[in-house]
Amino acid sequence: MPRFKIAYSPEALQEIKRIVEWYNEASPGLGERFKRNLLSEIAAIKKNPHTRSFR
């Protein structure tokens, strides 16, 4: 099965960074947990994008 490439806008990357920082300020380590989960989901989408729905 082919792997797909996901393109990120600079704005999206900046927003992810802000969210990680916000979560870490709210609760130490929470931002890193969010980031790990996000990267895991992105990897799953790349592997098989047909298992997720997109808008």
* Contact predicate 47/1, CB 8 Å: yes
Longest dimension (CA), the chain: 40
pLDDT digit string, tens, across residues 7-49 = 899 999 999 999 999 999 999 999 999 999 999 999 988 888 8
Rg (C-alpha) for the chain, rounded Å, is: 13
Q: Given a cut of 90, is residue 6 above it in pLDDT?
A: no
Q: Is residue 1 part of a domain?
A: no
Residue 22, domain extent? 10-50
State the pLDDT at residue 46. Answer: 86
Domain-embedded: residue 25 = yes
Tally of domains within the chain = 1
User: Would residue 55 count as lying in a domain?
Assistant: no
Give the per-residue pLDDT at 47: 85
- Residue 42 CA to residue 12 CA, distance in Å, equals 13
In a domain, 5, yes or no: no
pLDDT score recorded for residue 5:
81
Q: Up-side HSE of residue 34: CA atoms within 13 Å toward CB?
A: 16
pTM of the predicted protein model:
0.79
